[in-house]
Amino acid sequence: MGQSPTVAISIDFASQVQPILETHCLRCHSDEEAKGDVSLATLTSLLASESIVIGEPDSSYFIDLITPSGDEPAAMPKESRSLSADDVKVLRAWIAQGATWPEEIRLRAPEVTDRDWWSLKPIESSTPPAVAAKPGQPAHPIDAFVDAKLSELGLMPLPSATPETLIRRITYDLTGLPPAPVDIQSFLEAWEVDSELAWQTLVDRLVNSPAFGEKWAQHWLDVARFAETHGYDKDQPRPHAWPYRDYVIRSFNEDKSYSRFVQEQIAGDALFADEPDGVLGLGFLAAGPWDFIGHLEVGEGKLDGRIAKHLDRDEMVATVFNVFMSTTVQCAQCHHHKFDPIRMEDYYQLHATFAAVDRADRIYQGLSSAQQSEQKALQAKLKATEQERDTLKKELEQQVAAQAESLDRRLAELTDGVPTEPPTEYGYHSQISSTQDALKWVQIDLGQSHTLSKVHLIPAFDNFANIGAGFGFPVRYVVQAANEPTFSNADVQTWLDANSVDQRNPKLRHVIIEASSTPMRYLRVTATKLAERQGDYIFALAELQAIDASGANVASRATVTALDSIEAPARWGAQNLTDNTYFRQVSNAQNEGQWLELLKQRDVIEQEHFTPEVVAKLAAYADTIKQLKRDLDQFPAGEFVYAAATQFPSAGQFIATGGQPREIHLLHRGDLRSPGKRLQPGAPALWDNAQVDFAGADGSDNEAVGRSSLALYLTQHDNPLTWRTMANRVWQWTFGQPLVGTPNDFGRMGMVPSHPELLDYLAAHLRDDPRQSIKSLVRLLVTSKAYRRASDYDANNATLDANNQYLWRGQRRRLSAEEFRDSILAVSGLLRTDDRGGPSFRDFVVEKPEHSPHYQYHLHDPLDSATHRRSIYRFVVRSQPQPMLTALDCADPSISVPIRDESTTALQALTQWNNRLVEATSQHFARRLEREAVTPDAQIELACHLTLGRAATAQEKLVLDELLTTQGVETLARVLLNTSAFTYVE
């Protein structure tokens, strides 16, 4: 421990102590982020930590923490330089002199406010440097920048690759597919005549190919974290996620303006109303994982549900800024960003921008905006009518319950009450109907005619959709008896006609019907208005009893027939209706008379409240509801996409905002239990003249104003981040490596560009192009000599630039997971290249889809032709990713993946050899070789042209010839699909 200063130093807190603490300590120990529960914001909070003893620096743990010990650095501050000896001396003296701290001073964590960083500076429309070129021919602008850098560093660029190498390289880079032998041959012939014209023609053909959008959309879906299941533990599927994928493919193929592409994905519904792409683009905001339980089962009424909403908005906010602006705005959730000019207020203003938004299916096509408005009005009227009906019924039932309280107590003494556990055998259940007026009947055959005293209808019990007691009991019905089974003769008797008005659900109370004195053999219950289940209608009974004069149930074990029935033993089945396993209400037979008398008294009370006028009013509600549903059924179904939404049918605790933003507060330390001031929509001021206040001029709470403002903020001409970000991505997707090695982070914790002037040139090219064409930028890049260089090794260059950061050679790369899968299908002749768009194919079998689906890939048939489409059309699962593609470094769909890993593992070799799809395609590849080539030499030649894009070398020919002779054509095919020459682009 150090010693107290021997020279008295007069310490001024504001000028000497405050700067030290704010600079070195407040990043981790402020009110916003009190690590270790220690805050140095005030003297009170410092003293509460018990880390200083006023007047005694040698006894203060605080001084121990900031003082080095021998060769060991100080424990604090962590992850940064130790305090200087002078700073420690000042703090020791301050404590020794009484730790004076003016009450009005509250320390604040330092914020980064300066924009003196390369990515935040205005884009400079730089002129390519002058470099040597062919006489009379200016240097290609890309080559001018790249070659100038190479010359500066003393690196010698390699010459162009061979034409065979180039066509394979660019075909994979632009389409993700291997070049066909016929296309290779055509290109080589054109190359011999005019290499530049041949190259330009090839580039144009590939850029305009439908496969271009399929390949480049995969890049975008990687950063957009696209998948077709929610993720988390239940990982339910999203049947309508795929239209967003098709939108991205089409946007690249149509060469949509980049500004328009960005704006559609943030606020397309507001900026481009009545255009399908305005809604389809919003699939971007919804593409990431979603907590099914937190939103639908827990809800915003509980803290866990509010946390789920907060994390959902955080995921949207972070992805928008990571993807479009390479900015880690999410780092400002608990404290000001420690490295970039982003405050906590900025972060929560972005939350406010998305405060009304959730993720749900929404219509993008099939209904005009006028129809959707009319539909919403009818839905609102339907909801209001149902609420009025339910309110009236609830009030009446409460009044009945209050008046019949004593009767209910006496009934409870006589009965067993509602069962505490559901029965194992429920009773009879009709087939499900989509309409309430569908007629259903069930009848029993007593075997012979009996004189009956009464008939008991015993309601079913099942908690599906929270119906519980009285499950499926008909709203209107008729009970009849006859002596012939068709109920068509004149002797049919109606013993109960409950068909004129809606009947109240009897719950578990028996409905007792007086019988006539005429002996009857058959009893039939006909439901004319079915009970609603959850969006559909049913008829169910637990038991039907026929009681004779002796009190015996002569219907026990009687034969049951029905118009239709769900036979799902042991729960549901027609024969359950007479099996005598119902829940008995009366505790013993002697109490039955008293029980019936009490029920009659209770019915009188109910009739006093449910008067004919009230029943008529409820019937009118029912008629209005039925008509509104019929009116809603007239609208076309529409086509849906899973996207950002504010209007959608409620499900469980997942309730739409209707466009009304939730209140967003700045959260102390990011904790929802510690809200601060309320914030309005806005964004960080990352460049001069940035439009950061998103509130409407009238102070409107219209959520579309905020999202529209954010979309325009992102695409503002002066925004230096958006254009640099996309220019960097296009370079990466073309050359195989980015100019900035951290494509999602251009901040101070990210990397700096290898070619800053070139990056700005490309960013300005994209921004200032009247069409803001991605294809134009791609053409510019691939027509450069830098793109066409050989990928050979050069020892001298490698000494200076081992990672080829400065592009002295072509970048070698392995086929991506999707490229490998598509390629083995293509060379085998199985790939269905014309089957584009639409619902995704599933290369798995789903088990238990009603709860937590299990996606079983090993049960899938690899020869199922429906799955022989390009991998971009694959149904992407978050929790159980495709095993082969995962082994080959496919992107994790739960996060934004700007750069894929490119590992080399034993598992990859085993996968490429043993996977069932590889086995199946190898067999089909062999059959193709046998069909299209007659001799062994011809088969080897064709196989190499299909897989390697070239003829076999002499050495390869010897090896393959022996392999074919000894192992057969299937092994030949399988070996070629596992060679490095096939697995790597070059």
For residues 666-670, average pLDDT: 87
Q: Please, which pLDDT band fits residue 812 given cuts at 50, 70 and 90? A: very high
Contact 625, 529 (CB under 8 A): no
Confidence class of residue 414 from pLDDT cuts 50, 70 and 90? low
Percentage above 70 pLDDT, the chain: 93
Per the CB < 8 A criterion, the answer to whether 959 and 943 are in contact is: no
Q: Are 576 and 428 in contact (CB under 8 A)?
A: yes
Report whether 619 contacts 348 (CB < 8 A). Answer: no
**Residue 698 CA: distances (Å) to CA of 269, 691, 701, 705:** 21, 17, 9, 11
Among the residue ranges 264-268, 486-490, 660-664, the one predicted with the least confidence is 486-490
Distances 384 to 38, 370, 431, 537, 625 between C-alpha atoms, Å: 53, 21, 30, 22, 10
pLDDT at 215 over 80: yes
| CA distances in angstroms from 317 to 260, 349, 709, 718, listed in the order given | 19, 10, 14, 21
Comparing C-alpha atoms, which of 891, 912, 727, 795 is closest to residue 227? Answer: 891
- For residues 389 and 890, the model is more confident at 890
Res. 701 pLDDT band, cuts 50 70 90? low
pLDDT digits (tens, 9 = 90+) for 235-268: 999 999 999 999 999 999 999 999 999 999 999 9
Cα(282)–Cα(244) distance, integer angstroms = 8
Mean pLDDT to the nearest integer, 519-542: 92
Share of the chain above pLDDT 90, in %: 65
Number of other residues whose CB lies within 10 A of the CB of residue 178: 25
Verify cis geometry, omega within 30 degrees of 0, for the bond prior to 570: yes
Cross-strand pairs, 515 = none
d(CA 506, CA 472): 11
State the Cα–Cα distance between residues 941 and 918, nearest whole angstrom.
21
Which band of pLDDT confidence, cut at 50, 70 and 90, is reported for residue 335? Answer: confident
Residues 768-774: what's their mean pLDDT? 97
Give per-residue pLDDT as tens, 919-959. 999 999 999 999 999 999 999 999 999 999 999 999 999 99
The pTM assigned to this predicted structure is 0.74
Nearest partner of 103 among 190, 163, 27, 41, judged by Cα: 41
- pLDDT score recorded for residue 9: 66
What's the pLDDT band for 137 if we cut at 50, 70, 90?
low
Binning pLDDT at 50, 70 and 90, where does residue 421 land? very low
- Span of 23-37, 313-327, 332-346, 358-372 with lowest mean pLDDT: 23-37
Positive or negative: CA dihedral 386, 388, 391, 394:
negative
Instruction: Give the span between the Cα atoms of 358 and 765, in whole angstroms.
Output: 36
Confidence bin at 423 (pLDDT 50/70/90): low
Phi, psi of 204 (to 5 degrees): -60, -40
pLDDT at 595 over 70: no
Among candidates 868, 873, 866, 876, which has minimal Cα distance to 826? 868
Q: Which helix (H) or strand (E) holds 767?
A: helix 756-768
Burial of 377 (0-12, 13-18, 19+ CB in 10 A): exposed
Q: Alpha-carbon distance 812 to 158, whole Å?
A: 14
886 pLDDT more than 90: yes
Q: Which two tokens stand for residue 835?
A: 């089957």
d(CA 566, CA 76) in angstroms, rounded, equals 71
Give the pLDDT score at 17.
Answer: 84
Using only the alpha carbons of the chain, give its radius of gyration.
Answer: 38
Q: Which helix or strand (DSSP H or E) is residue 710 part of?
A: helix 703-714
Q: Is the dihedral of CA 680, 683, 685, 691 positive or negative?
A: negative
If you average pLDDT over every residue of the chain, what do you get? 90
CA dihedral 48, 49, 51, 53 (to 10 degrees): 10
How confident is the model at residue 3, as a pLDDT?
45
SS3 312: helix
681, 709 Cβ separation under 8 angstroms: yes
Helix (H, G, I), strand (E, B) or coil at 496: strand
Report which of 146, 292, 293 is spatially closest to residue 230, judged by C-alpha positions: 292
Q: For 693, how many CA atoms within 13 A lie in the half-sphere containing its CB?
A: 7
Q: Which helix (H) or strand (E) holds 91?
A: helix 85-96
Regarding predicted confidence, which is higher, 667 or 626?
667
End-to-end CA distance of the chain: 63
Q: How far is CA 293 from CA 299, 547, 645, 661, 841, in A?
A: 8, 49, 19, 22, 27
Find how far residue 841's CA is from the centre of its chain.
Answer: 18
Whether the pLDDT of residue 610 is over 90: the answer is: no
Higher pLDDT, 762 or 599: 762
- Look at residue 79 in the predicted model and tell me its pLDDT: 63
Burial class (CB within 10 angstroms; exposed 0-12, middle 13-18, buried 19+) of 724:
buried
User: Looking at 116-125, 202-211, 361-370, which range is the least confident one?
Assistant: 361-370
The two three-digit tokens of residue 569, written as one number: 């033993």
Confidence grade of residue 424 (pLDDT, cut at 50, 70, 90): low
pLDDT at residue number 420: 40
Higher per-residue confidence, 82 vs 431: 431
DSSP β-bridge partners for residue 511:
457
In the structure, what pLDDT confidence band is assigned to residue 599 with cuts at 50, 70 and 90? low
Angle (CA) 129 132 135, round 5°: 125
Lowest mean pLDDT among 64-78, 146-160, 844-858: 64-78
The pLDDT of residue 593: 67
Beta bridge partners of 537: 433, 532
Beta bridge partners of 847: 854
Question: In which band, very low, low, confident or very high, does the pLDDT at 422 lie, cut at 50, 70 and 90?
Answer: very low
Count of alpha carbons within 13 angstroms of residue 467, beta-carbon side? 23
The confidence band for 696, taking pLDDT boundaries of 50, 70 and 90, is: low
pLDDT tier for residue 529 given thresholds of 50, 70 and 90: very high
pLDDT at 972 (0 to 100): 97
